[in-house]
Amino acid sequence: MGNFTSCSCSSASTRALGSASAKVLDPSRDLRKLNSLPARAAELMLEYPGHLVVSLDQAGQAGRFIALRADDELMAGKAYMMVPCNRANARVVQAEMAAIRSAFRGRRHVQKTGRGTLVPIVVEEKDDNKGGDDVDNKEKQQQHQESVNCYNRNHKPWSPLLEPIFEN
**In this predicted structure, what is the pLDDT of residue 62?**
85
Instruction: Quote the pLDDT of residue 39.
Output: 86
Q: Which tens digits make up the pLDDT trace of 35-62?
A: 887 888 899 889 988 898 999 888 888 8
Per-residue pLDDT tens over the stretch 125-168: 444 445 555 666 777 776 666 555 544 455 566 777 888 888 87
- CATH code for position 66: 3.10.20.30
Domain count, the chain: 1
Q: Is 29 left (phi over 0), alpha (psi -120 to 50) or beta?
A: left
Integer Cα distance of 66 and 58 in angstroms: 7
Separation of alpha carbons 63 and 80, rounded Å: 15
Q: Is residue 114 part of a domain?
A: no
Parent domain of 87: 19-108
Residue 144 domain-assigned (yes or no): no
Q: What is the mean predicted confidence (pLDDT) over 79-105? A: 84
Q: What is the pTM of this model?
A: 0.52
